[in-house]
Homo-oligomer: A and B are copies of this chain.
Amino acid sequence: MSWPTSDAVLGPFFSSEAMARTFCDTARIQAMLDVEAALARVQAAAGLIPREAAPVIADAARAEAFDLDQLGQAVLAGGNPAIPLVKALTARVAARDEQAARWVHWGATSQDIIDTGLVLQMRDALALIEAEFDRLGDRLALLAEEHAETPIIARTLMQQAIPTTLGLKLAGWLSALTRSRQSLDALGPRVLVLQFGGASGNLASLAPDGIGLSAALAEELGLALPDLPWHGQRDRIAEIGAALAVLLGSLGKLSRDLALMAQTEIGEFSEPTGDGRGGSSAMPHKANPVACARIIAASSRAPGLAATLLAAMDQEHERGLGGWQAEWEALPDLFRLASAALEAACFIAEKGRFDIERMRANLALTSGLVMAEAISTALGRKIGKAAAHRLMERAARMAVEKRRSLRDCLDADPEIAPHFNPAELDALFMPENHIGAAPEFTGRAVAAWRSRQS
Contacts and interface: CB of A to CB of B under 8 A. Distances in A.
A321 B259 contact: yes
Top 8 A-B residue pairs of the complex, sorted by shortest distance between their CB atoms: A296-B322, A204-B436, A154-B200, A249-B313, A4-B24, A79-B290, A297-B325, A304-B304
Given A284-B372, A330-B304, A199 B310 contact: no
Given A6-B20, A282-B372, A445-B227, A321 B157 contact: yes
Interface in A370-421: 370, 372-374, 376-377, 385-386, 389, 393, 396-397, 399-400
Chain A interface category by residue count: 35 or more
A211 B444 CA distance: 11
Interface string A226-239: 11111111111011
Contacts of A81: 9-10
A13 interface: yes
Given A6-B28, A285-B366, A252 B203 contact: no
Given A162-B204, A436-B204, A176 B79 contact: no
Given A10-B328, A12-B75, 10 more contacts: A9-B81, A10-B81, A183-B186, A200-B436, A208-B437, A238-B246, A246-B313, A256-B314, A265-B362, A302-B310
A301 interface: yes
A329 interface: yes
Nearest to A251: B313
Contacts of A13: 72, 75-76, 79, 325, 328
A195 interface: no
A216 to B, nearest CB: 14
Interface string A139-170: 00000000000000011111111111100110
B5 A17 contact: no
Interface of A is mostly: helix
Given A157-B288, A265-B266, A287-B159, A313 B253 contact: yes
A68 B227 contact: no
A377 B205 contact: yes
17 contacts: A3-B20, A6-B25, A7-B72, A8-B72, A9-B29, A77-B278, A158-B316, A168-B228, A204-B438, A228-B444, A235-B246, A242-B246, A242-B310, A250-B313, A255-B322, A284-B400, A292-B321
Contact of A310 (B232, B246, B438): B246
B73 A12 contact: yes
Query: How many monomers of this protein are in the complex?
Result: 4
Contact of A5 (B24, B266, B330): B24
Interface string A169-199: 1011101101110110010001000000011
Contacts of A69: 8
B317 A156 contact: yes
Which residue among A9, A77, A214, A313 has the maximum number of chain B CB atoms within 10 Å of its CB?
A9
Contacts of A454: 190, 226-227
B253 A164 contact: no
Contacts of A289: 157-159, 321
A440 B70 CA distance: 40
Which residue among A156, A259, A263, A441 has the maximum number of chain B CB atoms within 10 Å of its CB?
A156
A311 interface: yes
A260 B445 CA distance: 30
A346 interface: no
A179 to B, nearest CB: 6
Contacts of A234: 249, 253
A387 to B, nearest CB: 11
A89 interface: no
A162 B211 contact: no
A348 interface: no
Contacts of A370: 283, 285
A78 B276 contact: yes
A435 interface: yes
Contact of A159 (B201, B262, B396): B262
A299 interface: yes
Contacts of A353: none
A369 interface: yes
